Amino acid sequence: MPTYDYECDACGHTMELFQGINDPVEKKCPECKKNKLKRLFGAGAAIVFKGSGFYQTDYRSEGYKKAAKADKSSTSSSSKSESKASKSESKASKPAKPKSDS
């Protein structure tokens, strides 16, 4: 249900009221009991985007996307070369089996 703001023209009392859209507008002020209550126009609810990646996938510029892709590929290629180097080091560090003299 929406929240509506009300203000009394007689006493200046302000309040918020939860009402359905089809409910009638309140007219009687709960403070002074006069029929001078009016509903105020609100700015409305703001749109809130929650979660990660919303702007990254939809609204980023092409230049940013290209730079991010280049950065990502250079990072992944350097990690691949590091993993290859570590594999070759591990092979070199294993002691060779002694040949049997039989």
Q: How far is the C-alpha of 74 from the C-alpha of 78, rounded, in Å?
A: 6
Where along the chain do its domains lie? Answer: 3-39
The answer to whether 65 touches 57, Cβ cutoff 8 Å, is no
18, 66, 69, 71 from 77: Cα distances, Å: 58, 16, 12, 10
Residue 42 exposed, middle or buried by CB count within 10 Å (0-12, 13-18, 19+): exposed
What digits encode the pLDDT tens for the residues 20-48? 889 999 999 999 999 999 999 876 667 77
What digits encode the pLDDT tens for the residues 45-86? 677 777 665 555 566 677 877 888 888 888 776 655 555 555
Record the pTM. 0.42
pLDDT at 67: 85
